[in-house]
Amino acid sequence: GEDVEQSLFLSVREGDSSVINCTYTDSSSTYLYWYKQEPGAGLQLLTYIFSNMDMKQDQRLTVLLNKKDKHLSLRIADTQTGDSAIYFCAVPNNAGNMLTFGGGTRLMVKP
């Protein structure tokens, strides 16, 4: 089955850029997703990218997709303390009915 890997932890200073990385094994997914989870809360959809795109920008968020290397990244510009959370990348299966999540990257933003 699908395997999705993320680094566990990232610490940045307020105002810096954050880059969260994700690798996956199944290249047939049509869309790839980034979700944010704050303590004790559900998952908030942040953004997604279609598999035929290399880059998608949405305000402070930039998603980069390297299909050859099966690598997805999320860049947050001008990171704020409110961005502190756990970030998950998620990859659908071929049928599109199941998301496989990475283990999550905990982002800590220091003032």
Structure tokens, 16: 């810096």
Q: How far is the CB of 45 from another protein (least distance, A)?
A: 6
Indicate left, alpha or beta for 9 from its phi (over 0: left) and psi (-120 to 50: alpha).
Answer: beta
CB nearer to another protein: give 62 or 101: 101
**Sheet strands side by side (includes 18-24):** 4-6, 18-24, 71-76, 61-66, 55-58
Distance CA 105, CA 87 (A): 5
CB 23 within 8 A of CB 5: yes
Task: Work out whether 98 is an interface residue with another protein (CB under 8 A).
Answer: yes
Task: Work out whether 33 is an interface residue with another protein (CB under 8 A).
Answer: yes
Please identify which residue in 65, 72, 99, 109 interacts with another protein, judged by CB under 8 A. 99
Distance CA 39, CA 60 (A): 22
Q: How far is the CB of 91 from another protein (least distance, A)?
A: 11
Task: Work out whether 101 is an interface residue with another protein (CB under 8 A).
Answer: yes
Please identify which residue in 35, 72, 74, 109 interacts with another protein, judged by CB under 8 A. 35
Task: Work out whether 36 is an interface residue with another protein (CB under 8 A).
Answer: no
Binding site for another protein (CB under 8 A): 4, 31, 33, 35, 41-45, 48, 88, 92, 95-104
